């Protein structure tokens, strides 16, 4: 690389290639490089996964376990509630407990969660996601439904014909 003198400002400048935005497969480790190490805590991966899942149509919420509940009681905000992250053989394994909206296709919605979570985590962290395991913990009626069965209003009209 050649250094040039910036006449107007009196500084030496050089052309430096821009770093890549997405690391290649050989760079997807939490190892030290020429500049130092980069480590991403599992709770950061869990927050990314949670936010990606909540954006999927039909997902009402993610539910945590007893530990998440106790953390909420003592005042710790849990942005990773309902998500458990493990690193297995340098790959990410994510487990999520979700509440879905009544009436959605459970397999389709879960596939979309898996797809969006994998894409979000891999693009933001550069880590390979081995699996996104979904546990459908509950189904919830839409907020305007008041707990009525969706076909309750249609049945009397059908019987009267």
pLDDT at residue number 139: 95
Q: What is the mean pLDDT of residues 5-12?
A: 49
Please state the length of the chain. 161
3-state secondary structure of 94: strand
Q: Is the pLDDT of residue 143 over 80?
A: no
Given a cut of 60, whether residue 18 has pLDDT beyond it is: no
Assess whether pLDDT exceeds 60 at residue 26. Answer: no
Asked if 100 contacts 106 with a C-beta cutoff of 8 angstroms, the reply is yes
Which of residues 149 and 135 earns the better pLDDT score?
135
Could you tell me where the beta strands, DSSP code E, fall in the chain?
A: 3-6, 11-14, 59-62, 83-88, 91-101, 129-140
Look at residue 20 in the predicted model and tell me its pLDDT: 47
**pLDDT digits 0-9 by tens, 28-83:** 445 567 888 888 999 999 999 999 999 999 999 998 765 555 555 555 556 777 89
Give pLDDT, residue 158: 43
More confident residue, 126 or 20: 126
Max Cα–Cα distance, the chain, nearest Å: 90
Alpha helices in the chain, H assignment, sequence order: 42-54, 66-73, 106-125, 154-159
CATH code for residues 40-141 = 3.30.70.1350
The pLDDT value given to residue 75: 54
Residue spans per domain, the chain: 40-141
pLDDT of residue 66: 54
What was the pLDDT predicted at 52?
96
pTM for the whole structure:
0.65
pLDDT digits (tens, 9 = 90+) for 84-140: 999 988 899 999 999 999 999 999 999 999 999 999 999 999 999 999 999 999 999
CA–CA distance, 122 with 10 (Å, rounded to integer): 43
Tell me the C-alpha distance between 135 and 65, whole Å. 12
């Amino acid at each position: 690389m050649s250094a040039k003198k910036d006449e107007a400002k009196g500084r030496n400048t050089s052309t430096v290639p821009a770093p890549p935005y997405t690391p290649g497969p050989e760079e997807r480790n939490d190892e030290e490089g020429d500049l130092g190490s980069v480590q991403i805590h599992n709770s950061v991966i869990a927050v990314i996964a949670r936010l990606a899942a909540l954006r999927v149509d039909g997902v009402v919420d993610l539910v945590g376990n007893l530990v998440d509940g106790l953390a909420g009681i003592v005042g710790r905000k849990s942005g990773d509630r309902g998500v458990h992250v493990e690193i297995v053989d340098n790959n990410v394994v994510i487990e999520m407990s979700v509440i879905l909206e009544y009436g959605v296709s459970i397999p389709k919605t879960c596939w979309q969660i898996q797809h969006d979570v994998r894409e979000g985590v891999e693009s933001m962290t550069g880590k390979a996601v081995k699996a996104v395991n979904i546990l459908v913990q509950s189904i919830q009626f839409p907020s305007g439904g008041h707990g009525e069965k969706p076909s309750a209003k249609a049945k009397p009209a059908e019987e009267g014909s």
